[in-house]
Amino acid sequence: MSKTIFVLNGPNLNLLGEREPAIYGTTTLSDIHRNCVARAARLGFEIDFRQTNFEGELIESVHQARSQACGIIINPAGYTFTSVALLDALKMFDGPKIELHISNVHARESIYHSSLISRVATGIMIGFGARGYELAIEAMADMASAARTDTLRQEAS
């Protein structure tokens, strides 16, 4: 079983650190990437970290994760509320999935309150700022390790 966690980021997240710092903070996506790799390494996992502004590329990453990842952490950004295609792709991934948002979307405008992605997420990380990524990696490492143990038990039976 893979020890790679896919961390997928949707549109406009490439502008973190510049974009609405009052909402998203000043941490850049490069900073988040570096922190994710370091946290995962301490837990014995690897990170495949991606960002795209294109829905189809995000979906292709989910498809690749089916054969390459033990779990997906996804910040779908604007696609959270609009992409049935992304929802369908995530349904086809059998491992744990964590939906992540830097800001507390429920404290914002009502357009941000209804996530399509939450319907298939194993867990949701909302409102912890850039640190939410590291917290999500810790949670994913626990879930992936538990799934690996369950698989080994089933194979031994």
Q: Of 101, 106, 112, 133, which one is the catalytic site residue?
A: 101
Q: Binding site: which residues?
A: 75, 88, 102-103
The rounded mean pLDDT for the chain is 92
- Which residues carry a binding-site annotation for substrate? 75, 88, 102-103
CATH of domain 4-156: 3.40.50.9100
pLDDT lower than 70: segments of the chain: 1, 112, 148-153
User: Distance (Å, rounded) from C-alpha 104 to C-alpha 112?
Assistant: 9
**All structural domains of the chain with their residue ranges:** 4-156
For the question of residue 133 being annotated catalytic, the response is no
At a CB cut-off of 8 Å and minimum separation 6, what does 110 contact? none
Q: Is 112 a catalytic residue?
A: no
